[in-house]
A and B are shown apart, each in its own frame.
Chain A
Amino acid sequence: MTERPVMLVTGSSRGIGLGIAKHFVSAGYDVHGCSRGSTEWESEWYQHTVLDVSDEQSVTRWVRQARSRWKRIDALVCNAAFAPATHPLSLTNTDIWQQVLRTNIDGTFFACREVARTMTAQRSGRIVTLSSMAAALHIEGTAAYAASKSAIVEMTKVLARELAPAGVTCNVVGVSVVMTDTVTALGQAVTERALERLTFKRPLEVEEVCHVVEFFCSPASSAVTGQVLQLGLVT
């Protein structure tokens, strides 16, 4: 058993997920992350597992191993997501559509389901999922991604009601533009169009996302559940 709070983070090898892992290790957590690729970052308080969040067995095993090792899970951050290049819905390939839904919706579902069982039994916990400006702004070319992120919002709100009697909170961080490798790969024109839609017309820093996740995970937010906190955007 560890005295440090225990957090699970999906998609933690790079970008926002890596930033969250580093932030919470610094904040005193034991963090167990996962992603499809390995990570070069090492810490005494960080353990990484290579897995695909759309694989039910792998996610179940990952959560069970954490529960078995630490005897509790204090926080889950569902960050892993697949964001394909933008396509009009009429030109969206079925394989891409299904890959987005499998990674973003199934992956969030598998992690939340397994962790929710643990948190229900321990009668405490924090679940934070990540959504996107795409879900709030209905941006052209993002049908699959926006649909998946809207599903995450709805799933989180329902879960918030279900887990409230166990003292578990579930909230959503609505992320706008963060200059991760994934966003950079979409190209400057796409980034500029996205920034133009925002209220604060600048990219977010990863730390700005981390601070909101930290609030949702802290005792200070014990009465906050089923909420979406949208960053950089008035909806």
Chain B
Amino acid sequence: MTRSQVMLLIQDAFDALWEADLVGENLRVDETTDLLGPETLLDSIAFVTFIVECEDRLQAAIGDDDHFVSIAITEIHDFNPEEARLTVGVLVDYIVREHAAGESPRD
């Protein structure tokens, strides 16, 4: 998948959070949007929901029922758990890299 495809997928996931009333504003995401950290709009429930929404959309995009997509935060290379901050750009890098490699993070 390309970066722009993944960005669209992430925007769709954010739109789903808005429709489910899990975030307070209908945000237009960019690479600097915080997913984790002091500036994020997502609480823990919204963040887990966001990850599941992304996984489901990735799964549908890949269209392979034998290859289950999992996003594992601890395996995102550029995510520093000591800062506990994750941006959309870092997540996009991770997803593009994993799918360019043709493998799920847990495979």
Contact = CB atoms under 8 A, between A and B. Distances in A.
B101 to A, nearest CB: 17
Given A117-B52, A121-B52, A123-B20, A65 B65 contact: yes
Contacts, number: 33
A47 interface: no
Given A117-B52, A121-B53, A68 B59 contact: yes
A217 B56 CA distance: 26
Contacts of A123: 20, 45, 49
A64 interface: yes
A61 B66 CA distance: 8
Contact of B48 (A56, A57, A61, A117): A117
Contacts of A179: none
B68 interface: yes
Contact of A57 (B51, B65, B106): B106
B87 interface: no
Contacts of B107: 57
A60 interface: yes
Given A64-B68, A68-B65, A121-B52, A166 B106 contact: no
Interface residues of B, number: 15
A65 B59 CA distance: 11
Contact of B45 (A60, A61, A65, A165): A165
Interface of A: 56-57, 60-61, 64-65, 68, 116-118, 120-121, 123, 162, 165-166
In the A-B complex, the 8 residue pairs with the closest CB atoms:
A121-B52, A120-B48, A121-B49, A64-B68, A117-B52, A166-B45, A165-B45, A61-B68
27 contacts: A57-B106, A57-B107, A60-B68, A60-B70, A60-B106, A61-B68, A64-B59, A64-B68, A65-B65, A68-B59, A68-B65, A117-B51, A117-B52, A118-B52, A120-B45, A120-B49, A120-B52, A121-B48, A121-B49, A121-B53, A123-B20, A123-B45, A123-B49, A162-B44, A165-B43, A165-B44, A166-B45
